[in-house]
């Protein structure tokens, strides 16, 4: 049910098809191959990309093909990273959203080693904090994607940044968090903390890369794997796939970790207070959210983009432009969602937290249990119809080109923000900032590396190796 607004607000260009919400209709299911997400016959609802948005950010087939290593798109094909070093803003906002889309497809590309790119040896896993310190561990076949047991640390985190809120899916799984950085980030951080590199911002130019490469060579570190990608930092959210099918969700619809995660066991005798019993169990984890953060030429504050699985949450009403009008999509109020039992309010009310870590405690009067979660800004903007149309167009034209067998087709770009005030000004991921929606990434990430505001994990990270001439402690 679409409602047009006053003709005085009508835009002027481009366009395409129609919109559906909640549970797909019979007509929609018959034509799902032309819509920007994969269709599966299960009980879950899924966020649907409108087909009639003003197509001002199209990704044509020829351009899309150049993103693939083979020179043409193919099911589950490997995508190459965007050239951040030579990033151009000829199309202004669209270039940032397209950069984010390509980076997501690259980072989640399957590799010959059986893992996704961000879980490969090109990236480092960030360990959870112990005594306010974190380590970087290069991903290897036996230590993949932060999902392995550490002697002095739990292998995954459960509390969200800023609020310490804990989220639980409808299958009873806690949401687990893991962070990653690429070699450019890891080596820059090490060089600065060892006093061998001078920088307060992330690299954006060739001269910055040259300094990092020279530093790496001095310490016999491997050469940068994808220097053209510049700095990459990721934060991911995962759920246990156990009981997903029983809860009405298709576990085959998710990108999963290539090896079992070691997740903590809890004494759940008291439903208001879960206490870890210092044992772990293996769990197959499925990706539900991903922050993609990276620098591009001229943007030392980085571009902050976020992606979610289509089955995650219902969304609040939003507006977008078509070729002839502004269209309103009403609140999602039907269907089964991974983080919402029945899509009815109240939404986003915290049920539990980790303020008494490592315990998980329920908010007064409640229990440790799933709650109803909603994304308040469907496409990351403050309901700006033009911004929404830009992001919808990128999603639609990119995801339509992916084969239905490609798991990446089940993840949507919510939006991107850059330069402390451009792009998706109310960007939030429903699985990563559930209880801090309404602002955007730059609300917390403004400043420089030394004060920790550009990257909150930066101050806690230990260098990869000691300064030149100083031997590591045995």
Q: For every one of its 474 residues, what pLDDT tens digit does the chain have, with 9 covering 90 and above?
A: 333 333 333 333 333 333 333 333 333 333 333 343 444 334 578 999 999 999 889 899 999 999 999 999 999 999 999 999 999 877 789 999 999 999 999 999 999 888 999 999 999 999 988 888 999 999 876 554 444 433 334 457 899 988 999 999 999 999 999 999 999 999 999 999 999 999 888 999 999 999 999 999 999 999 999 999 999 999 999 999 999 999 999 999 999 988 888 889 999 999 999 999 988 888 999 999 999 999 999 888 899 999 999 999 999 999 999 999 999 999 987 888 999 988 888 999 999 999 999 999 999 999 999 999 999 999 998 889 999 999 999 999 999 999 999 999 999 999 999 986 789 989 999 999 999 887 666 666 566 677 656 788 889 999 999 987 555 443
Token code pair at residue 14: 């481009």
Beta carbons of 15 and 23 less than 8 angstroms apart: no
- Yes or no: say if 9 and 49 are a contact pair by the CB < 8 Å rule: no
Residue 59 Rama label (left phi>0; alpha psi -120 to 50; beta): beta
Alpha helices for 194-234 (secondary structure H): 206-218
pLDDT for 156 equals 74
Strand partners, 133: 130
Provide the pLDDT for residue 20: 34
Whether 353 and 361 have beta carbons less than 8 Å apart is answered as: yes
Single out the residue of 164, 165, 363, 170 nearest to residue 271, CA to CA: 363
DSSP assignment of 123-160 equals EEEEPPPBTTBB-EEE-BTTB-TT-S-BTTB-SSB-SP
Q: Give the domain ranges of the chain.
A: 3-460
pLDDT (0 to 100) of residue 277: 93
pLDDT of amino acid 202: 92
Give the pLDDT confidence score for residue 308 in this predicted structure: 98
Find, among 417, 181, 204, 202, the residue nearest to 305 by Cα. Answer: 417
| 313, 334 Cβ separation under 8 angstroms | no
| 122: β partners | none
**439-460 core/surface letters (b: 16 or more CB in 10 A; e: else):** ebbbbebeebbeeebbbebbbb
With residues binned 3-state (H G I as helix, E B as strand, rest as coil), the percentages for the chain, rounded to 5, are 20, 25, 55
Q: What is the pLDDT of residue 68?
A: 98
Q: How far apart are CA 14 and CA 456, in angstroms?
A: 41
Judged by DSSP in three states, 69 sits in coil
Q: What is the token pair recorded at 445?
A: 């990430």
Q: Write down how long the chain is.
A: 474
For position 143, what pLDDT does the model report?
A: 55
Structure confidence at residue 301 (pLDDT)? 85
R_g (Cα) of the chain, nearest Å: 22
CB-CB contact of 458 with 191 (8 Å): no
Distance CA 204, CA 211 (A): 12
């Amino acid at each position: 049910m679409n409602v047009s607004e006053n003709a005085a607000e009508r835009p002027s260009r481009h366009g395409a098809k129609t919109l559906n919400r909640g549970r797909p209709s019979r007509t929609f299911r018959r034509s799902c191959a032309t819509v920007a997400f994969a269709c599966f016959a299960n009980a879950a609802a899924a966020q649907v990309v409108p087909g009639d948005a003003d197509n001002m950010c199209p990704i044509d087939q020829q351009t899309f093909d150049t993103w693939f290593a083979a020179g043409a798109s193919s099911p589950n094909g490997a995508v190459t990273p965007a050239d951040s070093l030579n990033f151009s803003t000829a199309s202004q906002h669209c270039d940032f959203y397209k950069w984010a889309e390509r980076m997501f497809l690259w980072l989640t590309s399957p590799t010959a080693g059986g893992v996704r790119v961000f879980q490969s040896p090109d990236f480092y896993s960030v360990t959870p904090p112990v005594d306010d310190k974190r380590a970087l561990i290069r991903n290897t076949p036996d230590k993949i994607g932060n999902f392995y047991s550490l002697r002095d640390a739990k292998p995954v985190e459960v509390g969200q940044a800023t609020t310490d809120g804990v989220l639980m899916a409808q299958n009873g799984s806690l949401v687990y968090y893991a962070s990653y950085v690429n070699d450019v980030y890891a080596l820059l951080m090490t060089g600065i903390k060892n006093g061998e590199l001078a920088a307060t911002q992330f690299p954006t130019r060739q001269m910055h890369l040259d300094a990092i490469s020279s530093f790496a060579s001095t310490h016999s570190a491997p050469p940068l794997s994808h220097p053209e990608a510049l700095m990459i930092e990721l934060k991911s959210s995962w759920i246990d796939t156990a009981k997903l099918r029983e809860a009405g969700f298709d576990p085959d619809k998710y990108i999963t970790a290539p090896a079992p995660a070691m997740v903590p066991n809890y004494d759940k005798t008291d439903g208001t207070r879960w206490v870890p019993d210092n044992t772990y169990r293996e769990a197959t984890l499925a990706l539900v959210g991903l922050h993609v953060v990276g620098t591009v030429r001229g943007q030392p504050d980085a571009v902050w983009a976020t992606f979610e699985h289509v089955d995650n949450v219902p969304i609040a009403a939003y507006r977008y432009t078509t070729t002839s009008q502004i269209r309103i999509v009403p609140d999602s109020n039907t269907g089964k969602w991974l983080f919402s039992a029945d899509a009815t309010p109240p939404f986003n009310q915290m049920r539990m937290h980790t303020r008494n870590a490592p315990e998980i405690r329920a908010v007064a009067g409640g229990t440790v249990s799933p709650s109803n979660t909603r994304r308040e800004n469907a496409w990351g903007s403050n309901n700006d119809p033009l911004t929404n149309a830009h992001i919808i167009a990128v999603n639609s034209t990119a995801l339509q080109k992916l084969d239905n067998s490609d798991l990446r087709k089940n993840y949507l770009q919510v939006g991107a923000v850059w330069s402390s005030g451009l792009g998706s000004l109310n960007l939030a991921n429903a699985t990563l900032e559930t209880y801090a929606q309404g602002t955007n990434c730059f609300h917390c990430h403004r400043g420089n590396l030394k004060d920790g505001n550009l990257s909150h994990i930066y101050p806690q990270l230990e260098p990869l190796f000691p300064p030149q001439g100083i031997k590591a402690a045995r």
